[in-house]
A = this chain, B = another copy of it.
Amino acid sequence: MTLPPLNPADADFARTLRARLPDAAFRPLGPAYLEEPRGLFRGQGGLVVAPGTAEEVAEVVRAAAAARVGVVPYGGGTGLVGGQVMPDGPAPVILSLERMTRIRAVYPAENVLIAEAGAILADVQAAAEAADRLFPLTLASEGSCRIGGNLATNAGGVNVLRYGNARELCLGLEAVLPDGSLWHGLRRLRKDNTGYDLRALMIGAEGTLGVITAASLRLFPRPAVTGTALMVVPSPGAALDLLALAGDRLGPVISAFELISGQAMRFLAETGCIARAPFAALPDWAVLIDLGLARGGDVDAALTGLFEAAQAAGLSSDGVIAQSEAQRAALWAMREEIPEANRRVGSISSHDISLPLSAIPGFLQAATAAIAAKGPFRINCFGHLGDGNLHFNVFPPQGRTRADFPGARTEVAQAVHDLVAQFDGSFSAEHGVGRLKVHALETYADPARLAAMRAIKAALDPDGIMNPGAVLARRTGRREQGQTTPT
């Protein structure tokens, strides 16, 4: 199916919007709206509008639908797959949620919070904490990403093991659909079986099926006692056995279970990202385990008991249990600085993949061999092992840079993604499809599912105005103004 071409958000269109929205809703086209963190995509222009209310968002989308102008929803701009930047095609409306930042309500007794889409994730966390509750979504960009973007991309992070992805943390949405209708769906219900789950469909659709304007979010009791340990493991397989042991011994109080490679620790040391490694001799592999217990829980006993059991089972030879908040923060800083260390080293290709847990050892063996066959590369594999989510990143050998290996990126990425598919994994665990992985989706997605996705997109957004080119390629009958090659 081909679509009619879109029109640019030109001066006429701007006049139409100015007649409907207050002056405060218009923003100059600063560079932030055209860039994304890794510099892989660059926007060519657009009209930036920052509505103050859901009704104003609906006005923008209605006008865009009538004029057949593309709409690119813009949250915190932290996405890693180019979902927030449209690099070609007619200039879109860049619909920023930056003025819709209110926490509309907190219901501590219900464990529910209602936030507008533009609320910064850290502000949502803080509002929950002020009510003695936990909003568990935690990720590197939490100081600048916005909750609407977190939901549009079904963000993951370090606490998914215990609390689920963004989708599981959301009870209801308020959203503007592609025809400009406003869906009032801010439910605060744990059970609601009244038809199709439009909430789950919008979450993870990356702005291609509408614009999220507010969400009702699940809160949790704050764990009263928290503790952290770093345990050395001989292999990723042993790390998985330790995960199973921890699950059996400790049940649902494991908040995070992160894999850290020796390579990550070497990068951290080499780049100066951390002052001091926790072990004199760097191990090949370690896991960072976080527990959150209810009042009266003995977290030290829990972690000590787990470590002793792991030792007895040959799963861990050494370990550190944080004895203070400062030590705990230091252990977590090591984990959290890995992306910065990677950035300083400069990867050839980075992969946000997930695998069935039991497939991980086999995948790592095959992928390590496949990369070795391609060149003298270094692999830093780390991430949310408890969720089967690995960041499998490939780097040049020491003393050289990625510029020394032109063309390697595509080749490495394809080898990794082919193996991921072979081991029943996913080429995008938590970052989404955006514009970067449109081709990967077309390559690896089940054909029946992909056809259903296209049918849903065409049904809800017949002219394809919502985030054109993200997730699904936008195929037009003729070339649009400014369009380069389709992704």
Q: Enumerate A212-267 residues with CB–CB distance to B below 8 Å.
A: 220-221, 223-224, 240-241, 244, 247-253
Instruction: Determine whether A484 belongs to the interface, using a CB cutoff of 8 Å to chain B.
Output: no
In the bound complex, CA of A187 to CA of B359 (Å): 12
Instruction: Determine whether A308 belongs to the interface, using a CB cutoff of 8 Å to chain B.
Output: no
A426 touches B200 (CB 8 A): no
> Which residues of B have CB within 8 Å of A424?
187-188
- When A184-B446, A188-B356, A248-B221 are in contact, do A167 and B197 touch as well, CB less than 8 Å? yes
Instruction: Determine whether A15 belongs to the interface, using a CB cutoff of 8 Å to chain B.
Output: no
> Which residues of B have CB within 8 Å of A198?
449, 452-453
B460 touches A456 (CB 8 A): yes
> Which residues of B have CB within 8 Å of A110?
356-358, 388
Which residue of chain B has its CB nearest to the CB of A112? B356
Q: Enumerate A89-147 residues with CB–CB distance to B below 8 Å.
A: 107, 109-112
B446 touches A185 (CB 8 A): yes
B189 touches A355 (CB 8 A): yes
Which residue of chain B has its CB nearest to the CB of A440? B194
B200 touches A197 (CB 8 A): yes
Q: Enumerate A167-218 residues with CB–CB distance to B below 8 Å.
A: 167-168, 177, 181-185, 187-198, 200-201, 203-205, 209
> Which residues of B have CB within 8 Å of A448?
177, 181-184
In the bound complex, CA of A188 to CA of B296 (Å): 35
- A193 contacts which of B249, B294, B433 (Cβ < 8 Å)? B433
B431 touches A193 (CB 8 A): yes
Instruction: Determine whether A164 belongs to the interface, using a CB cutoff of 8 Å to chain B.
Output: yes
Q: Is the interface of A mostly helix, strand, loop or mixed?
A: mixed
Q: Enumerate A347-379 residues with CB–CB distance to B below 8 Å.
A: 354-358
- A107 contacts which of B294, B358, B387, B453 (Cβ < 8 Å)? B358
> Which residues of B have CB within 8 Å of A241?
109
In the bound complex, CA of A459 to CA of B458 (Å): 8
B-binding residues in A (CB < 8 A): 107, 109-112, 153-154, 156, 160-162, 164-165, 167-168, 177, 181-185, 187-198, 200-201, 203-205, 209, 220-221, 223-224, 240-241, 244, 247-253, 292-296, 354-358, 384, 386-389, 424-433, 437, 440-441, 444-453, 455-460, 471-472
Beyond A177-B448, A196-B457, 17 extra complex contacts between A and B, CB < 8 Å: A109-B240, A156-B191, A161-B190, A168-B168, A181-B447, A185-B446, A188-B424, A189-B425, A190-B386, A193-B432, A194-B426, A195-B453, A196-B204, A201-B201, A223-B251, A224-B251, A248-B295
The 29 listed contacts between A and B (C-beta, < 8 Å) are A110-B356, A154-B197, A160-B191, A165-B193, A177-B452, A181-B451, A182-B448, A183-B446, A187-B424, A187-B426, A189-B355, A189-B356, A190-B387, A192-B429, A193-B426, A194-B433, A194-B437, A194-B444, A196-B204, A196-B457, A197-B200, A200-B201, A201-B201, A201-B456, A221-B248, A223-B251, A224-B251, A250-B294, A251-B292
